[in-house]
């Protein structure tokens, strides 16, 4: 049983102002696996005050000092990787291979990339007589989700540190263990007091006061579109910067070529990973209408290979994170059946042999139309919808027929055709043939949010831009007198 009773504020582990805790349920067993302290507005006040106090000194540090700190974090992160992986499996059900692999590995990858980018980053640029300076924005409120905890903490905390900002992190109350271990890593690495602060809690108790706080200069949020809208409303009176990575219903256009069946299988595998709990998951597979039956058969075979079970064992996917998530997914699967989609694999209920735990059957629907609920609503579970298109123009029309625009995918042997299709998808991240790159900017169009994370682009939102006119008066253009 894990017990986390303190927050990390001002370089010290402190008890919350109010004594309140939350029981954390292991989604594989449905049993309580830990308790975490829950914060309030008073804790946010203390954390923000600590961050504001630390900002002048930290923002004045040079690149060399920040790189050294990030390298210290890198060393400590490596020491605690196994602890992070175990916590991920326990708190949100990620299979051990995924937790110790891609889940923890993403955090390490973003840290290495932040160090690399910082080494060459230009914080000032002279343009004629004017100096353009990029300065740290100030105190940042960082609100992260439960589905990829280390990835989302990494893409916020490391750029904030690299650019000279101070911060308050609120991890999701559904995956608080990793956030707590992460704070221990930063403490061990020697992060100066007040530069990084951790307050655990829920949206009403911590997220709202953090978003509305006049001492916070920026909010970076990843989560649902609904919550993102509320955060923007709460932040509006203080006119702070708000960046958001929100929901998605991402299209995966499979081109009509000899790789088709293999690309169907790859699309299923990608969709089912992390139990489908990925905002950028390729949840809408678009296939030539004439090959719908072939796609359905290939998808059925791939779904059958998606093993489900105890995340401590050798399985592809574990449970979804919580009962309410399980119930939502079950309801949407039933709605797909009721609306007339063809159930190819899976369906409602738990997989055979699993009487306990929030396990969902890997589910595939074929013959889905664009007006069906399962084609429009983010399910956030291992549920794939397959839609048919008449030609490439129709595929692109279907791909863009969504209120979201986080990601898109194109699969096909003809690279030139794939590039042409990718250029017409209205989304912030479009991958051709499952390509991956830590340098690629990640973020959404439309209701999928604003701002970008990852690599060099992840630095931008943490910086203010200042123009210093007359910096070089000997070359300044002097306007004619009026």
**What mean pLDDT comes out for the span 392-414?**
98
Closest CA to 282 of 366, 384, 376: 384
CATH of the domain at 263: 3.40.309.10
Query: How many CB atoms lie under 10 A from the CB of residue 316?
Result: 18
Give 85-113 pLDDT, tens digit per residue. 999 999 999 999 999 999 999 999 999 99
Q: How many residues does the chain have?
A: 482
Residue 477 reports pLDDT greater than 70:
no
- In terms of C-beta distances under 8 Å and separation of at least 24 residues, what long-range contacts does 419-426 make, across chains too? 421/253, 421/255, 421/392, 421/395, 421/396, 424/396, 424/400, 425/251, 425/253, 425/396, 425/399, 425/400, 426/399, 426/400
CA dihedral (44, 45, 46, 47) positive or negative = positive
Where residue 475 falls among pLDDT bands split at 50, 70, 90? low
pLDDT score of 287: 98
Contacts for 36 with CB less than 8 Å, ≥ 6 apart: 2, 4, 21, 22, 24, 173, 176, 177, 180, 200
C-alpha span between 62 and 344 (Å, rounded): 57
337 by Cβ neighbours in 10 Å (0-12 / 13-18 / 19+) ranks as middle
Task: Based on the fold, state whether residues 44 and 95 are members of the same structural domain.
Answer: yes
Closest CA to 18 of 9, 7, 8, 33: 7
Task: Based on the fold, state whether residues 242 and 255 are members of the same structural domain.
Answer: no
DSSP run (H or E) holding 445: strand 445-446
The residue with tokens 């004045």 is 60
CATH of the domain at 145: 3.40.605.10
Contacts for 54 with CB less than 8 Å, ≥ 6 apart: 10, 166, 192, 193, 194, 195
Sheet holding 130-136, edge to edge: 124-127, 130-136, 463-468
Task: Based on the fold, state whether residues 199 and 276 are members of the same structural domain.
Answer: no
Where residue 480 falls among pLDDT bands split at 50, 70, 90? very low
CA dihedral (28, 32, 35, 38) positive or negative = positive
Task: Based on the fold, state whether residues 159 and 219 are members of the same structural domain.
Answer: yes
C-alpha span between 235 and 160 (Å, rounded): 19
Residue 479 reports pLDDT greater than 90:
no
In a domain, 474, yes or no: no
Number of domains comprising the chain: 2
pLDDT score of 473: 80
C-alpha span between 14 and 241 (Å, rounded): 29
Task: Based on the fold, state whether residues 267 and 145 are members of the same structural domain.
Answer: no
Name the H helices within 121-259. Answer: 149-163, 176-189, 208-212, 225-235
- CA distances in angstroms from 182 to 36, 58, 121, 152, listed in the order given: 15, 20, 26, 12
**What mean pLDDT comes out for the span 55-71?**
98
Tell me the three state secondary structure of residue 213: coil
- DSSP at 94: -
33 is catalytic: no
**What mean pLDDT comes out for the span 151-178?**
98
- Residue-number span of the structural domain to which 401 is assigned: 251-432
Residue 476 reports pLDDT greater than 70:
no
C-alpha span between 37 and 115 (Å, rounded): 33
C-alpha span between 364 and 269 (Å, rounded): 11
- Active-site residue, from 90, 91, 245, 453: 245
Helix axes 415-422, 392-400, angle to 10 degrees: 40
In a domain, 258, yes or no: yes
**What mean pLDDT comes out for the span 351-379?**
98
In a domain, 18, yes or no: yes
pLDDT score of 482: 34
In a domain, 128, yes or no: yes
In a domain, 482, yes or no: no
**What mean pLDDT comes out for the span 37-41?**
98
Task: Based on the fold, state whether residues 289 and 174 are members of the same structural domain.
Answer: no
Task: Based on the fold, state whether residues 271 and 403 are members of the same structural domain.
Answer: yes
Lookup: tokens for 440: 């690629």
pLDDT score of 77: 98
C-alpha span between 322 and 358 (Å, rounded): 6
- Active-site residue, from 90, 91, 165, 279: 279
In a domain, 476, yes or no: no
In a domain, 157, yes or no: yes
Task: Based on the fold, state whether residues 404 and 457 are members of the same structural domain.
Answer: no
DSSP run (H or E) holding 92: helix 81-92
Task: Based on the fold, state whether residues 79 and 92 are members of the same structural domain.
Answer: yes
116 is catalytic: no
Task: Based on the fold, state whether residues 189 and 140 are members of the same structural domain.
Answer: yes
Closest CA to 377 of 447, 319, 318: 447
Give 199-255 pLDDT, tens digit per residue. 999 999 999 999 999 999 999 999 999 999 999 999 999 999 999 999 999 999 999
Closest CA to 363 of 314, 420, 435, 296: 296
Lookup: tokens for 195: 């530069």
Contacts for 404 with CB less than 8 Å, ≥ 6 apart: 225, 246, 247, 248, 249, 250, 378, 444, 445, 446, 447, 448
Closest CA to 289 of 367, 231, 224: 367
pTM, to two decimals: 0.96
């Amino acid at each position: 049983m894990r017990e986390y009773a303190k927050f990390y504020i001002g370089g010290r582990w402190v008890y919350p102002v109010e004594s309140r805790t939350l029981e954390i349920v292991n989604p594989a067993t449905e049993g309580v696996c830990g308790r975490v302290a829950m914060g309030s507005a008073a804790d946010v006040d203390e954390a923000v005050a600590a961050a504001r106090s630390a900002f002048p000194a930290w923002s004045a540090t040079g690149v060399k000092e920040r790189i050294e700190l990030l390298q210290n974090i890198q060393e400590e992160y490596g020491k605690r990787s196994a602890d992070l992986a175990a916590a991920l499996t326990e708190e949100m059900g990620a299979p051990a291979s995924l937790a110790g692999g891609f889940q923890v590995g993403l955090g390490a990858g973003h840290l290495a990339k932040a160090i690399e980018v910082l080494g060459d980053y230009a914080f000032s640029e002279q343009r004629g007589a004017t100096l353009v300076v990029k300065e740290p924005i100030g105190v940042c409120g960082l609100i992260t989700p439960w589905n990829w905890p280390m990835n989302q903490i990494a893409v916020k905390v490391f750029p904030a540190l690299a650019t000279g900002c101070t911060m308050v992190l609120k991890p999701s109350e559904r995956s608080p263990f990793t956030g707590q271990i992460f704070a221990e890593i930063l403490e061990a690495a020697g992060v100066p007091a007040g530069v990084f602060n951790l307050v655990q809690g829920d949206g009403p108790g911590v997220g709202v006061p953090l978003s509305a706080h006049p001492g916070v200069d920026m909010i970076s949020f990843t989560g649902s579109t609904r919550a993102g809208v509320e955060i923007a409303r709460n932040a509006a009176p203080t006119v702070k910067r708000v960046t958001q990575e929100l929901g998605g219903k991402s299209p995966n256009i499979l081109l009509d070529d000899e790789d088709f069946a293999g690309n169907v299988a790859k699309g299923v595998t990608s969709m089912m990973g992390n139990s489908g709990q990925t905002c950028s998951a390729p949840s809408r597979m678009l296939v030539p209408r004439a090959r719908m039956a072939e796609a359905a058969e290939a998808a059925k075979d791939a779904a059958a290979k998606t093993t489900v079970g105890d995340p401590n064992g050798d399985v592809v996917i574990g449970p979804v994170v919580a009962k309410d998530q399980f119930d939502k997914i079950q309801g949407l699967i039933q709605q797909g059946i009721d609306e007339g989609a063809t159930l190819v694999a899976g369906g409602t209920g738990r997989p055979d042999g699993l009487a306990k735990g929030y396990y969902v059957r890997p589910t595939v629907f074929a013959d889905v139309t664009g007006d069906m609920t399962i084609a429009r609503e983010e399910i956030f579970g291992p549920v794939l919808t397959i839609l048919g298109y008449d030609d490439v123009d129709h595929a692109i029309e279907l791909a863009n027929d969504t209120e979201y625009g986080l990601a898109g995918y194109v699969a096909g042997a003809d690279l030139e055709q794939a590039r042409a299709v990718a250029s017409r998808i209205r989304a912030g991240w479009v991958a051709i043939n499952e390509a991956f790159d830590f340098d690629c900017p990640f973020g959404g169009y439309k209701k999928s949010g604003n701002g970008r994370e990852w690599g060099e682009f992840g630095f931008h939102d943490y910086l203010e831009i200042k123009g210093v006119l007359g910096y070089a008066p000997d070359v300044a253009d002097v306007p004619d007198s009026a």
